[in-house]
Structure 1
Amino acid sequence: MTSQVRGVQLARLLGQWHALPGRRRSPDYAALAGAVRGLLADGRLPLGVRLPAERELAEALRISRTTVTAAYRQLRETGHLASRRGAGSWTMLPGNHRVASSGLWTPLDDLDMIDLGCAALSAPPQLVPAARAAAEDLPRYLCGAGYHPTGIVELREAVADSYTARGLPTSPDQIMVTSGTQHALDLVLRLALAPGGSVLVESPTYPNALAALAARRARITTHGLAADGAGWDGDLLLGSLRQSRPKLAYLIPEFHNPTGHLMPADLRERVVAAAHAAGTDLVVDESFVDLPLDGTPLPPPVATFDRHSRVISIGGMSKPYWGGLRIGWVRASAPQVQRLAAARVGVDMASPVLDQLVAVHLLADAPAIVSARRAQLTAQRDALLGALAQRLPDWRVTVPRGGVTLWAELDGPISSALARAAEEVGVRLAPGPRFGLDGTLERFLRLPFTLPASDLVEAVDRIAGVRYDLDRAARPQWREPVVIA
């Protein structure tokens, strides 16, 4: 059955769709068509969705039906809409698009784009030597079938040792190796959440986690994070757990994506206790745990306070090492790991042995690699902060204590419009609404500092230019003509 978006839903997603550079020179229908293309490009409007009827959308946006008709016609001409008389119009993408590094659709001719939509580092120099060493180790595994649903023992031991070093005693039997952190989350959801189950998430949160929950048709409730350094409101978070009693809660306590907040130790303990009382399983995403900056001390892992197997921790090598190395893991009780492995057999059997061997060698060199990453990220973060302070001083940014992203509060609800405008000058942005539900968070923008400092400064210069264009391109105020009798 084809899904459909209603007029009021699309209007909410479109937000300030008319706030575009050069607005006075472009008609309403062109601005509306551009806004719909922007929603398709950043993934908030899925492919194959039936759009509302022209009259319905016109009423929701309080514009003429003629404008909507012209916008739909332009979308059909550009290959973003397919229509059939009497049946409706469905979203699609033209053939000259591809999937970008962020997983979103993008034109084929934008290879020189400064991509701030993807919060990931390039590979460290140690990767090639690790790959060579892994190839030398591979013959030891060639006599077997190569299927290891929980992962090769060497890697599970290395990951278990890293948890033990953080103060959480862990055995290899409590570790399951996956094909990345997102794969780990998907497997956990398959095991712990029935379709339509209730889930509590932070707002904002990681967009791909929301996508995974949507695939399970989860009923999502949110706990809002403060835009400043306060982060979680402990009483509100615990109250949400007690009142909604969700089946599962997904949290990012270490350098939260996208805000960069770090959950304090006392709140971690209280959250685990509240989850146990509510019958809620906690899925704790530790993707950024290896990236504290400025010497920030890390609180104990959330699972340290778990006495009832309520906490399932997921992590991986994408952020501190390289996203192209698809290695993640789950830390849980040994029986839970075995149930996950049984569920995995129906999905992908096992992770590649060679990739796991590469991960073993990288983890053996972790102190040097991670130390260099932290220094690199600190310098790039400071360069981004300096450029923002100079070019966009009205934006409010809390300095993150770790991770790879800034969460900027803008000087108006313009995030989506700014992202569309920045695309025109060669900068890809992830607007705030991508990190929430139903088109909210238009006053916010995630800015990763994973690119070289020169690229970050250049990107801010371009963003500042189009930001000022948005002000100059305010929607004109029309007046009725004077009647001369």
Structure 2
Amino acid sequence: MVPLLGEWRTAGSGVPGYRALADRLRLLVLEGRLPVGTVLPSERTLATALDTSRTTTTSAYRQLREEGFAVGSQGAGTWTTLPASDPDVVTPTWPINSDGEPGPGGGRGDFSSAATEAPPQLYVAYQAALAEMPRYLPGNGYVTSGLPVLRERIAARYTERGLPTTADQILITNGALQALHLVLDVVAQRGDRVLVEHPTYPAAAEAIKARGGRPVPFPVETGWDVDRARTLLRQTGAQLAYLMLDFHNPTGALLDAAGRRRLGAVLAETGCTAIVDETMVDLDLREALHGRPFETPRPMASYVSSEQVICLGSASKTLWGGLRIGWIRASKPLIRRLAMARSNADLGSPVLEQLACAHLIDNLEPVVTARRLELARRCLALRDALASALPEWDVPLPDGGMSLWAHLPEPRSTQVAASARALGVRLAPGPHFGLDGAFESRLRLPFARPVEDLLPMVGLLARAWGSTGGLDLVDDDELTTV
């Protein structure tokens, strides 16, 4: 407690000692550094540790209880809480809809997730899938590699994008994250160094570490420096890389065709195998944001041998996370190895969802067009609201994806996220996307929620930013966040 409290005394200010201590404790609760439910030291113990009187600590705890930031009873101690009656400080439900219940609304809820609601075509696709189900019921329902009809449609999509692909180069999975875990189980060895973009998708970094991999950070905030990638691969001996070249998470950047060509040459030269995460590939927002067409590069696997690039795809971002359909595109021998490895833990993906996904891919263009237009509208609305409420922040427009990667003028991302959470808004601070605590001056702000949620969220975010700069969060009535 003592290091957290720091210089809590306000000498010469005329503020009583108990009040200064209560103010500091309240701020720690609102910033999340003292989580709700934390048991506080006894009044006597804290007084001794702070070299102050027990009267000061007793009065400070009483003040916190009166304000609703602490509760306690005789013999049970004192623990932190939040004032339930304050309309601006609520205990939110995290994450929204994870338990099937709606979030609090009004700009509050889970704004950490880059995933949207389902398109209207989804219901029709499920109806069509149900009509087809009788054909599949005589079988046992286990198709480890995935239904041929879905694998054929996904292979056709790759071919249309400039990468000739056949159905036996596709393996269906339960989402892209399962696909990544499966690939790592088969191609990675404990102790391997893995080139990882920095910042990166947090779940990917954790998956690599969980299998004993050692991430090698490859800075990409200002773009993919292919020469630096070559140097890192040579210096570290990394034979595996995890990359998001199509609307990178969290920056939203895209590696163009020339960059892919150079990167392909580096992979061939070093013998490194790239796991390329393409979950955002359909969310190209450039034309919708800027009003003119842009060149779309071919998949990375078309610039180097198929043996050296493993593509991961998903329906979660383009269509809906509830489908839980992902896939792997790789060489035929590797797909066979992956299918055998998968059968040891998971016998296949749900048939109904695969059929629904196949129907959606058959009629994908209207879905993708509408999705891009709506995401671009939300992106611009969020960016404009941030520019108005937080003009000191630098918020670049992405090429695509679902998030803004905000540059804060001071390294306070974790504090801002904690203060926002006390106001009912859940955000993912910058260090969540870094290795070893990097990106404290960054904040990922998804624009996956509707505009009517994003705008009030920005008000709460501005209030959270002001509170971490020394303003009184409880008595102040300004704010919004996503």
For the aligned pair, the TM-score class normalised by the smaller chain equals 0.7 to 0.9
**Counterpart selection for 2:130 from 130, 135, 147:** 135
Distance 2:166 2:198 in 1: 33
Alpha carbons 1:23, 1:473 under 8 Å: kept: no
Instruction: Output the amino acid matched with 1:256.
Output: H
Aligned to 1:7: none
Q: Pairwise mapping of residues 87-236 of structure 1 onto structure 2 (< 5 A)?
A: 100=95, 111-112=104-105, 113-226=108-221, 230-236=222-228
The Cα shift of 1:344 comes to: 0.0
Amino acid at match of 2:370: A
Equivalent residue letter for 1:246:
A
Q: Cα distance 1:396–1:102, how it changes in 2: closer, same or farther (>3 A)?
A: farther
Once residues 144 and 420 of structure 1 are traced to their aligned partners in structure 2, the CA distance between those partners, rounded to angstroms, is 51
Aligned CA RMSD, in angstroms, stands at 3.3
Aligned length: 413
Aligned to 2:84: none
Does the alignment pair 1:358 with 2:350? Answer: no
Q: Secondary structure at the match of 2:432?
A: helix
Q: CA offsets, 1:260-298, max 9 Å, x none?
A: 110121221222222233232100000111011124332
The change in CA–CA distance for 1:341 and 1:435 in structure 2 (over 3 A counts) is same
Question: Greater shift after overlay, 360-369 or 29-38?
Answer: 29-38
Task: Tell whether the 8 Å contact from 1:207 to 1:435 is kept in structure 2 after alignment.
Answer: yes
Whole-Å Cα distance in 1 between the matches of residues 112 and 160 of structure 2? 33
Cα separation, 2, equivalents of 1:39 and 1:329 = 40
- The answer as to 2:247 corresponding to 1:252 is no
C-alpha change, 1:451 and 1:236, in structure 2 (3 Å) is: same
Q: How far off is 1:77 after superposition?
A: 6.8
Q: Cα offset for 1:336?
A: 0.5
Which one-letter code corresponds to 2:316 in the other structure?
S
| Equivalent position of 2:28 in the other structure | 31
Q: Distance in 2 between matches of 1:396 and 1:454?
A: 23
Q: Deviations over 1:18-68 (max 9, x none)?
A: 9xxx9974346972896456699xxxxxxxxxxxxx9xxxxxxxx99947x
Aligned to 1:370: 368
Q: For 2:223 and 2:20, how far apart are their aligned partners in 1?
A: 37
Aligned residue runs from structure 1 range 333-482, under 5 A: 333-473=331-471
Distance 2:97 2:240 in 1: 27
- Mapped partners of 2:125, 2:417: distance in 1: 38
Secondary structure of 2:307's counterpart equals coil
User: Aligned partner of 1:394: which letter?
Assistant: E
5+ long unaligned stretches in structure 2 = 9-18, 51-56, 58-69, 72-76, 82-90, 288-292, 473-482
In the aligned structure 1, how far is the partner of 2:317 from the partner of 2:197? 20
Aligned CA distance change for structure 1 residues 101 and 436 (closer, same or farther; 3 Å): farther
Corresponding residue SS for 1:472: coil
Aligned-pair CA distance for 1:79: 10
Offset, 1:195? 2.2
Cα contact 1:193–1:247 (8 A) shared by 2 = no
SS of equivalent to 1:315: strand
> Quick check: 1:259–1:407 contact (8 Å CA) kept in 2?
yes
Partners of 2:251 and 2:403 within 8 A in 1: yes
Given that 2:92 and 2:424 are in contact with CA atoms closer than 8 Å, whether structure 1 keeps it comes out as no
Counterpart residue type for residue 167 of structure 2? P
1:285-325: per-residue Cα shift (whole Å, max 9, x none)?
00111011124332111000122501000011000100011
**Structure 1: segments with no counterpart, 5+ residues:** 1-10, 41-53, 55-62, 81-95, 475-485
Mapped to 1, the partners of 2:349 and 2:358 lie a distance apart of 13
1:290 counterpart SS class: coil
Question: Structure 2 CA distance, aligned partners of 1:308 and 1:370?
Answer: 27
Q: What is the aligned counterpart of 1:239 among 217, 228, 231? A: 231
Q: Separation in 2 of the partners of 1:291 and 1:32?
A: 38
Could you say which residue in structure 1 is the equivalent of 2:262?
270
2:102 & 2:117 partners in 1: Cα distance?
22
TM-score by length of 1: 0.78
Q: Give identity over the alignment, percent.
A: 41
Matches of 1:449 and 1:306 in 2, distance apart? 34
Residues 38 and 224 (structure 1), Cα distance of their counterparts in 2 relative to 1, 3 Å cut: farther
CA contact (8 A) 1:303 1:312 kept: yes
* Matching residue's letter, 1:311: V
Q: Aligned-pair distance for 1:111?
A: 4.0
CA distance in 2, matches of 1:432, 1:38: 20
Aligned residue number for residue 87 of structure 2: none
Shift of 1:337: 0.4
Three-state SS of the structure 1 residue aligned to 2:321 is coil
Deviation of 1:399 (Å): 0.6
The structure whose Rg is larger is: 2
* Cα separation, partners in 2 of 1:398 and 1:109, compared to 1, 3 Å: closer
Alignment partner of 1:396: what SS? Answer: coil
Moved more, 367-376 or 190-199: 190-199
- Residue of structure 1 equivalent to 2:11: none
User: Would you say the 8 A contact 2:31–2:415 is kept in 1?
Assistant: no
Q: 1:379 to 1:145 in 2, by over 3 A?
A: same
1:414–1:205 distance in 2 versus 1, CA, 3 Å? same
Distance 1:426 1:319 in 2: 25
Alignment CA distance shift 1:395-1:372 (3 Å): same
**Distance in 1 between the 2:436 and 2:180 partners?**
22
Q: Which amino acid is 1:363 matched to?
A: I
